[in-house]
Amino acid sequence: MIADSPLLNLASSTAPPATSASHRRRRSTGDASSLVGFQEEDSSNRDGFGASSARGGSSQPLPAIPGTPYEIPASPMSLSRSPSPHKGGGWSSPGLTTPHNGSSGRTSPMRSYGQYSNGGANNVTWASAQAKSAEIKGYPALEPKYQGWFARSFRRLPKSLPHFSPKRMDDRYAEKEKLGRGRWPPGNKSGLGTIASRIWRTIWRMRLRFMFLVGCIIFAISFYLTPLYRVYRRTSWLGGGSKFVVILAANQGGGVMEWKGAREWAIERDSVRNKKKYVKNWGYELEIVDMSTKKRYAHEWRESWEKVDTIRNAMRKYPHAEWFWWLDLNTFIMEPSYSLQSHIFNDLASNTYRDINEYNPLGIEHPLQTPYLDPESRSTVGDGKPESINLIVPQDCGGFNLGSFFVRRSSWTDRLLDIWWDPVAYEQKHMEWEHKEQDALEYLYKNQPWVRPHMAFIPQRKVNSFPPGACGDNGDDPKIHYRESDRDFLVNMAGCEWGRDCWGEMYNYRQLSNRLNRSRWEKLKDWIGDGVKALKEGRKKTTEGTTGGDEKKKD
């Protein structure tokens, strides 16, 4: 048998051990059946090679396949020396640089590079790999169209924009700070210098917030130290101050009915200054009316009836105003920090009342029960809407009081003023009406049903508080008299010319208002002044006591 021949035994004994399955070359000259058997055995040999390599890393020479000639290689492949560099890139490696026939049997699969294979479909060499790489890299780059001036300008645009980026991790690779460069060494600073530097560093780190805070402070100072806030409060669609006109009666009598001395001029000066300061603060209009007594008609003196005519003149002078506030000269605004809007008109429904039965010193019957009247005229509150209120009047212990009242511009008001000023009514009743125009308004309210639905009343202390001497000697009526603890808005020294000191009352309430409305700085100065004064008085008493004791000892 061929397997037992000496030639085969010699070949088996002299053949070097195979380093890998790819180094063995097997050829078959048999038929197709032999080729199939060879492929199956070759597959089993590959499995055996992998298993033996996995187990011990060493392999035994495979026995020759029966029926296949075995050739002894002339110079077996050796890896005893390192490969040398190869020209053109890469290193020489056995099996890659050596061309061989890829159609022969192989124990491992092989990747093909097609036309770049050297002699076969499965040969891989450095040259073929380089050619394949060059082919991949040789594709033309993507070149967009329209590479004109607009495209170049559009690409350059982002480069010219500023970049705002927070601190990143790359910042840690910045140049280290060199201490002592451009600043004082830390060791040479005093305690104040260290504090100042820390404050400065804090401000610098928070410079944006600090700049915003400084801007707000500057705006607030400029807003209140310049006429800007007055413009804001005066504007009809912002503060709404232009909708209100304060009418102040001055120069009452004009020196005709009675002599005006220093006290009368001082009262007028303080009252006018008080109203000017108030309207300037809130952006209102001030109309100072000369109420000097003069003969309007050949047969009458209509002193104080001129209120009606004065209000109509003010309405013509200020066509855009809505509310007109009449004030007598003997009034003083105690709380200038109260605006008319916040104090009354922002919530007119709750600050006024329509039903006179809530406080009815005159005992007027309300509502009217006449059957032919409409439901609104027979109602105690009219239509109940604050928009229908056109006249606001306070009541004291004697009835209506017109020392401080409000009139609204409307067609109803024009009608009321026409009838109120009618000389016929004055001629018929002026001998009976002690309080003149005030009694005339009470008469209209009682006898004219159309007046009640558009007239409202306001609590006396809301706009017209009395001092203790008015409306009774006790001055303890909580509905009428001024209360310092409640910070009433206005004081009316009504009737002070009848047995009371008008100037003394005006001066006392002016001083009280200044004390109640002091700023924090003024309160601090007064507190320091009072402390110094008390200290001086204590020392003076101590000195007087010591001097008196010494004199007694001498005696």
pLDDT score recorded for residue 136: 58
Contact 291, 306 (CB under 8 A): yes
Q: Do 215 and 262 belong to one domain?
A: no
Q: Do 220 and 238 belong to one domain?
A: no
Instruction: Please state the domain count of the chain.
Output: 2
In a domain, 488, yes or no: yes
Q: Do 202 and 256 belong to one domain?
A: no
pLDDT in tens, 415-427: 999 988 776 666 6
CA distance 113 to 132: 7
Query: What DSSP character marks residue 20?
Result: S
CA angle, residues 88, 92, 93, in degrees to nearest 5: 145
CA distance 264 to 240: 34
pLDDT in tens, 490-548: 999 998 888 889 999 999 999 999 999 998 888 888 889 888 888 888 888 888 777 76
Query: What DSSP character marks residue 325?
Result: E
Q: How confident is the model at residue 385 (pLDDT cuts 50, 70, 90)?
A: very high
Q: Do 297 and 199 belong to one domain?
A: no
Q: Do 280 and 398 belong to one domain?
A: yes
What percentage of the chain's residues is helix, strand, coil (to nearest 5)?
Answer: 45, 10, 45
Contact 287, 245 (CB under 8 A): yes
Q: Do 372 and 410 belong to one domain?
A: yes
In a domain, 501, yes or no: yes
Query: What DSSP character marks residue 423?
Result: H
CATH number at residue 266: 3.90.550.10
CA distance 91 to 94: 10
Q: Do 289 and 219 belong to one domain?
A: no
pLDDT in tens, 285-317: 999 988 775 545 444 555 556 788 889 999 999
Q: Do 220 and 236 belong to one domain?
A: no
Lowest mean pLDDT among 79-83, 255-259, 302-306, 364-368: 79-83
In a domain, 389, yes or no: yes
Task: Give me the long-range contacts of 226-232 (CB less than 8 A, separation at least 24).
Answer: 230/280, 230/281, 230/283, 231/283, 232/283
In a domain, 255, yes or no: yes
Provide the domain limits for residue 365. 229-516
In a domain, 473, yes or no: yes
Contact 308, 421 (CB under 8 A): yes
Q: Do 439 and 338 belong to one domain?
A: yes
Lowest mean pLDDT among 126-130, 172-176, 294-298, 410-414: 294-298
Residue 286 backbone dihedrals phi, psi, to 5 degrees: -125, 125
Q: Do 204 and 303 belong to one domain?
A: no
pLDDT score recorded for residue 208: 86
Q: Do 443 and 431 belong to one domain?
A: yes
In a domain, 256, yes or no: yes
In a domain, 448, yes or no: yes
Q: 272 vs 227, 280, 341, 447, CA distance in Å?
A: 21, 12, 22, 37
In a domain, 53, yes or no: no
Q: Do 267 and 199 belong to one domain?
A: no
